Amino acid sequence: MSCLKLSASFHPKVWGSPKLSPWFLDAAEKIGEVWFEPPSDVPLLIKFLFTTENLSVQVHPEDEYAREHHNGSNGKTEMWYILRTDPGAKIALGLRQGLTADQLRAASLSGEIMDLLNWVEVQPGDMYFAPAGTVHAIGAGIALCEIQQISDVTYRLYDYGRDRELHLDRGVAVSNLVAHEHADLSKCPYFRTSVVEVSGTTTLHSPQAPAILICVAGEGLLDGQPYGPGEAWRLDETSALVEASADSRFLLTYVPTR
């Protein structure tokens, strides 16, 4: 079998949403994240996120810092593919202007950081890349698919007065303090991701195997197995037969050979 569906786990969050369709069944509680079990040979964590409140302003370290300070952990570079938005929904990606470390720390303590972030209004189909070190926040009213290094090292800089720990010393230490500049996902050493549209029957080709194929819209058969939105599949070959009974959209992601 060339395609194996990955198992998913559901994680309630206070900022989550019970409205998970069409990717999953709607829930009785607020679900913030749906995680897929990473294949051992594709070290990427795939998540679906659902927000009804702003997430904290945060930053993730690069590999070298994470390994030194977190018992050999990886850093965390990530990307987001926007699935659904409420009107006016935004994300923050980087800083609007360059800051010193002291300025970032002071702004995080005062809340002024909210005015110093590069806020972007988002729409379904948008894709954003957040290399480690990028100060960022995901706003309310968004459903998205996240692809990231396998790591849970997160430093909160600002959390809207919620009763959760901040990590100002380490967060400031790893933050990119220059004004935000577009980063090129095609040069990311941890993963490469493309959007694949399928209508009817076609052979899907991957630049590399193994890879992960994430269905974000549509349904049909994948190498003879039923697929639908909100599923992630491990591909162990560089091609797979897709028979789409409804026009389909996938994210195809893999770890590039170094």
Residue 63's Cα: distance from chain center in Å? 17
Catalytic residue among 156, 192, 234, 249: 156
Closest to 201 (Cα-Cα) out of 242, 239, 229, 240: 242
For residue 1, pLDDT beyond 70: no
Q: pTM to 2 decimals?
A: 0.96
Q: Which domains does the chain have, with CATH numbers?
A: 54-186 (2.60.120.10), 192-254 (2.60.120.10)
pLDDT one-digit tens code per residue, 38-58: 999 999 999 999 999 999 999
Question: The tokens of 179 are what?
Answer: 């004004």
Distance of alpha carbon 240 from alpha carbon 94, whole angstroms? 37
Residue 2: predicted pLDDT:
83
Residue position matching structure tokens 């591909």: 235
Counting residues of the chain whose pLDDT is more than 90, the rounded percentage is 95
Question: The tokens of 72 are what?
Answer: 């050999």
Average pLDDT of the chain?
Answer: 96
Average confidence (pLDDT) over 244-254: 97
Distance of alpha carbon 53 from alpha carbon 14, whole angstroms? 8
* pLDDT grade for 163, boundaries at 50, 70 and 90: confident
For residue 223, pLDDT beyond 60: yes
Residue 144: predicted pLDDT:
98
162 is catalytic: no
For residue 236, pLDDT beyond 90: yes
pLDDT one-digit tens code per residue, 96-155: 999 999 999 999 999 999 999 999 999 999 999 999 999 999 999 999 999 999 998 999
